[in-house]
Chain A
Amino acid sequence: MKILVYCEHNQGKVKKGSLELLSNAITWGVEVHAAVIGAPGSLENLAADINQFAPQHLHYVENEKLTAYSPDAFSQALADLAKAITADAVFTSVSAQSKDFFPRLAVKLDTGMASDCTELNIQGEKLEARRPLYSGKCFANIEFLGPKPYIASVRPNALGMKAAKPGAAAIAKVSAKIETVRAQVKEIVAKSGGAVKVDLTEAEKIVSGGRSLKSAENFKMLEDLATTIGASVGASRAAVDAGYRPHSDQVGQTGKTVSPVLYMAFGISGAIQHLAGMRTSKVIVAINTDPNAPIFQKADYGMVADAFQAAPALTEEFKKLQH
């Protein structure tokens, strides 16, 4: 089996989700090709990141029209590469970008795609993928009916980062032929006031707060805790609707679906729509004053406590652990 792993990059670094996928792919005993896409001459410095988990081949897919993201151009570039190397499967980590252009890639290759998978199993020439349905209320095992290449996207943190295996991939430069660019990014605007944060969907640890935090200012306690353990801050829908946090921080059915290694919920009761967004987290911690809050039924560890006292106390304890 020959698989092509799309590696997304941002500001000169390969994204962590892509490296996580690559770190797994090289343990599967298959021929692994990695591909990065961008402007001519802009991709060479990415080899260092890729070679920590060295695949057999690394393709620099280049064209001036690939300087800024375009779903048309990126899908064409990757489709042509998949055909040229006769890939049996094309995989990516889930991101805003891959969610956008991979469905086009699938149609270009006249094939099917399993999105947002949490497991991939390759046996001989067959691929089976497992993915959540109904916001993780159940899981489906997906069968690919062909033709190849089979396409799948994998949720960040689902496979876990595997050990580094440094080496040197054989490098090939590909001049992509780009015919049609119908939509292309003209400008990217960061959210006002904030530095670029790790997105919740990519975060390894998340500290979330509910409406019982009572104000936007009180989320500072969770920010402090998050900083101590290298986490991102999330919120329940109620907290977002109350204006304490922006919608981009919302975890749940109409917000983000996350599966971090650690999810800590402060003052979140655990409505089914919230659980929908975080139930696939590896370890769930719930802190709530109500011992009957439904969140405790989905949590691994629980504390009946007031978030206002628990958050600073935990921050202190985590700090002690780091000394």
Chain B
Amino acid sequence: MKIFVCAKQVPDTETKIKVTADGKNIDTAGIKWILCPYDEFAIEEAIRFREKNAGAQVTVISAGPDRTTETLRTALAMGCDEAIHVAIPENADSFLTAKVLARAIEKSGPAHIIFTGKQAIDDDAAQVHQAMAEFLQLPAVTVVLKAEYSANSVKLEREIEGGAIEKYEVNTPCIIAAQKGMNEPRYASLPNIMKAKKKEIKKFTLADLDVKEGDVKIQYKNITLPTERQACKMISGDVGAQAKELARLLHEEAKVI
């Protein structure tokens, strides 16, 4: 029984973003790359599933440039059994990413469950899960906080507005996109880190998957930094005077109260 996890390599949350001179990209020099935090929940869920289901095997799969293999090693060190790297260019859109992941899984399956995070924290598009589900013609439930697994189905709780929960039951194979809180991801153990270094990472190119590099639907025309706010207006005085002045400014100047 094959379990897949789709994971993405993203810049560390502390990264200060710089834009390249041509304005088309971010400057990747000096960026510390990490496994997307939401994908950690997906990996943890997949490993827990394997621990309860004899014969299950977890394959982590990631689409991205060559450096993506580092992130696949992190996933292997957490306990994934196998890793697949799909080589795609930097900044490929969600459409292409979902398509290649779907095709790579089709070639390596059949999948019982495909886990992923609710979104990647680089472009925050939150599209690949449902887009991949559409390519694979599978059910998908996203922003999942809880899953109960049976032989041929899964009961799921999805978080919506105001912390409310939508309940689903879907047949396997299916796609589950994890929300923070679904579980508590484990740290990689030292023996697993050592083992992960030696594991072979399988590679697919776009040609292997019969997908053209130009099969993207949107692209970045340019990237700009946000306009800096004007310097903060500090309000002085005792707390009573400060509160009075702030209320006045919000009412008369900012006009938001």
Interface residues of A (CB under 8 A from B): 69, 71-72, 75, 95-97, 99-104, 106-108, 111-116, 128, 132-146, 180, 182-191, 194, 196-199, 201-202, 205, 229, 246-249, 253-255, 257, 261-262, 272-273, 276, 279-280, 282-286, 296-306, 309-310, 313-314, 316-318, 320-321
Which among A140, A280, A303 has the highest number of chain B CB atoms within 10 Å? A140
Name the 6 nearest CB pairs between A and B, nearest first.
A112-B217, A248-B163, A182-B139, A199-B161, A313-B243, A317-B247
B184 at the interface (CB under 8 A from A): no
Q: Smallest CB-CB separation from B164: which chain A residue?
A: A190
The interface residues of chain A, by DSSP majority, are classed as mixed
Q: Please report which residues of chain B, range 99-143, place their CB below 8 angstroms from some CB of chain A when the two chains form the complex.
A: 121-131, 133-135, 137-143
Contact B254 A283 (CB under 8 A): yes
The contact sample of 19 A-B pairs, CB cut-off 8 A, is: A103-B128, A103-B134, A115-B126, A138-B26, A141-B220, A145-B219, A183-B139, A183-B174, A186-B168, A188-B167, A253-B13, A254-B180, A296-B232, A298-B232, A302-B233, A309-B239, A317-B243, A317-B246, A317-B247
Interface residues of B (CB under 8 A from A): 11, 13-17, 19, 26, 37-38, 93-95, 98, 121-131, 133-135, 137-143, 159-171, 174, 180-181, 216-226, 229-230, 232-235, 239-240, 242-244, 246-247, 249-251, 254, 256-257
Contact of B167 among A95, A185, A201, A302 (CB under 8 A): A185
Contact A318 B257 (CB under 8 A): yes
Alpha-carbon distance between A190 and B217 when the two chains are bound, in angstroms: 38
Contact A71 B130 (CB under 8 A): yes
Contact A100 B161 (CB under 8 A): no
The interface residues of chain B, by DSSP majority, are classed as mixed
Q: Smallest CB-CB separation from A250: which chain B residue?
A: B180
Q: Smallest CB-CB separation from A99: which chain B residue?
A: B126
Question: What residues of A have a CB within 8 angstroms of the CB of B142 in the complex?
Answer: 99-100
Minimum CB–CB distance for B216 against chain A, Å = 7
Minimum CB–CB distance for A178 against chain B, Å = 14
Question: What residues of B have a CB within 8 angstroms of the CB of A272 in the complex?
Answer: 13-14
Question: What residues of B have a CB within 8 angstroms of the CB of A262 in the complex?
Answer: 250, 254, 256-257
Alpha-carbon distance between A253 and B120 when the two chains are bound, in angstroms: 11
Which among B38, B127, B171 has the highest number of chain A CB atoms within 10 Å? B127
Contact of B164 among A69, A113, A191, A310 (CB under 8 A): A191
Question: What residues of A have a CB within 8 angstroms of the CB of B126 in the complex?
Answer: 99, 103, 115-116
Contact of B166 among A185, A273, A314, A321 (CB under 8 A): A185
Alpha-carbon distance between A124 and B239 when the two chains are bound, in angstroms: 54
Alpha-carbon distance between A146 and B225 when the two chains are bound, in angstroms: 27
Contact A95 B161 (CB under 8 A): yes
Q: Given A301-B249, A310-B243, does the pair A202, B131 have CB atoms closer than 8 Å?
A: no
Contact of B127 among A115, A202, A253 (CB under 8 A): A115
Contact A246 B163 (CB under 8 A): yes
Question: What residues of A have a CB within 8 angstroms of the CB of B16 in the complex?
Answer: 137
Question: What residues of B have a CB within 8 angstroms of the CB of A229 in the complex?
Answer: 257
Contact A248 B162 (CB under 8 A): yes
Alpha-carbon distance between A71 and B143 when the two chains are bound, in angstroms: 13
Minimum CB–CB distance for A155 against chain B, Å = 11
Contact of B244 among A99, A108, A302, A317 (CB under 8 A): A317
Contact B15 A72 (CB under 8 A): no
Contact A247 B180 (CB under 8 A): yes
Minimum CB–CB distance for B114 against chain A, Å = 13
Q: Smallest CB-CB separation from B14: which chain A residue?
A: A272
Alpha-carbon distance between A98 and B131 when the two chains are bound, in angstroms: 13
Q: Given A114-B218, A143-B219, does the pair A134, B239 have CB atoms closer than 8 Å?
A: no
Contact A283 B161 (CB under 8 A): no
Alpha-carbon distance between A211 and B181 when the two chains are bound, in angstroms: 19
